[in-house]
Amino acid sequence: MTPRETIAAIDVGNSAIKVALAKVSELITAAGDLSAGDAPVRYQSFPLDQPRWDQQICRWVRQHAGQATVSWWVSTVNHAASRPLKDAVLGVADSAAESAPDRQQAWHNLTFEDVPLRIKVDAPEKVGIDRLLSAYAASTRFAAPLVVVDAGSAVTVDCVRPDSDARPVFVGGAILPGIRLQHAALATGTEGLQQATQRIDPAEVAAMMPATNTQQAIRLGVLAAVVGGVERLAQEYACPDDDAVESLPIVLCGGDAATLSPYLRALHQQVPHLVCLGILDLAIQQCQIAPSGLK
Ligand SMILES: Nc1ncnc2c1ncn2[C@@H]1O[C@H](COP(=O)(O)OP(=O)(O)O)[C@@H](O)[C@H]1O
Ligand SMILES: CC(C)(COP(=O)(O)O)[C@@H](O)C(=O)NCCC(=O)O
Ligand SMILES: [K+]
């Protein structure tokens, strides 16, 4: 990778593909804080239930990258989606004719070995790379111990602790079904429950403790399951033996972060695009180590 290139940081989840695009030269100059509003990064989310999302992504990247060489750095936990995207990017798929590349493209699937974070779990290669990258991005912005919550298709509640040298270590976490999956599970697993609208209105929640109809009861129950689970885990990770202990601070991201935030009583901060930020952090680090470009 060289400073003249553009980097496309790609987070392939189970509901959407999130894309962050930045010129490497501008990233190096702005390395201070990529979460800042004025950072030279464009973000776009492409839901996987939209038609031709692979073409849409190629077109969007081409529109904003111009003729620059694009390095695609990819975090994927959904290979059924990342494989056709790779084919479209590299011009392999027939259907990609419209977006076939007229400039150089490089595709790099990230693994746990690319993440400069100590990992202390049974099998690091089996942990979702999105969990490791968001933990890495959080640990470069906030002091460990901390909890990283990615509220997407699944909600992951991960813990980063300092080691004896105060360096951050990913020590594992918990996985629970996300809001949309919980709604779908209730609707498909019962006769009496239909899919409730997912939208949660804070005024409505305040008025329904307890809920007085089925739809509201589903919305309240699912919200409480996720918020309650996150808060309990953040407290248990701080100190499993003491109820009185404060929760660890939470860094919150994912498609449902804004929905959950108003109900979380634990100290938390929303940082959108955390997985993409982790990828861009890696890119900056690599350029700083090898400014002439090695990869
Ligand atoms: N248009 C949408 N399409 C899909 N999910 C959405 C949409 N709007 C909100 N959501 C919520 O966002 C969650 C998915 O978040 P996201 O971070 O994109 O997930 P993933 O990382 O699994 O792809 C869903 O569980 C759903 O509750
Ligand atoms: C837990 C996940 C499904 C979350 O995916 P997402 O909700 O972001 O689509 C993903 O990180 C994954 O497939 N993990 C592999 C198992 C593990 O992390 O232990
Ligand atoms: K997730």
Q: Are 83 and 179 found together in one domain?
A: no
What confidence score (pLDDT) does residue 222 get? 97
What confidence score (pLDDT) does residue 157 get? 98
Q: Are 37 and 67 found together in one domain?
A: yes
Indicate if the pLDDT at residue 264 is higher than 70.
Answer: yes
State how many domains the chain has.
Answer: 2
Backbone angles phi, psi at 129, to 5 degrees: -60, -25
Q: Are 26 and 105 found together in one domain?
A: yes
What confidence score (pLDDT) does residue 36 get? 67
Closest CA to 41 of 286, 218, 279: 279
Specify whether 130 is catalytic. yes
Q: Are 164 and 261 found together in one domain?
A: yes
Q: Are 49 and 91 found together in one domain?
A: yes
Q: Are 46 and 149 found together in one domain?
A: no
Catalytic site residue from 130, 158, 256, 281:
130
Query: Is 148 one of the annotated binding-site residues?
Result: no
Range of the domain at 86: 6-109
What confidence score (pLDDT) does residue 102 get? 53
Counting ligand 1 atoms within 8 A of each CB, the residue from 10, 11, 12, 15 with the most, and so the one to mutate, is: 15
Cis peptide before 145 (omega within 30 of 0): yes
What confidence score (pLDDT) does residue 31 get? 65
Render pLDDT for 142-195 as a digit per residue (tens, 0 to 9).
999 999 999 999 999 999 999 999 999 999 999 999 999 999 999 999 999 988
Residue 180 C-alpha to ligand 1 middle, in angstroms? 7
Q: Are 136 and 41 found together in one domain?
A: no
Confidence of residue 244 (pLDDT cuts 50, 70, 90): low
When pLDDT is averaged across residues 237-246 and rounded to a whole number, the result is 77
Q: What percent of the chain has pLDDT over 70?
A: 89
What confidence score (pLDDT) does residue 291 get? 45
What confidence score (pLDDT) does residue 32 get? 64
Residue 112 C-alpha to ligand 1 middle, in angstroms? 24
In a domain, 290, yes or no: no
Render pLDDT for 94-106 as a digit per residue (tens, 0 to 9).
544 444 455 578 9
In a domain, 94, yes or no: yes
Q: What is the ipTM of this complex?
A: 0.97
Render pLDDT for 58-76 as a digit per residue (tens, 0 to 9).
999 999 998 889 999 999 9
Confidence of residue 37 (pLDDT cuts 50, 70, 90): low
Rounded Cα distance between 170 and 163, Å, is 10
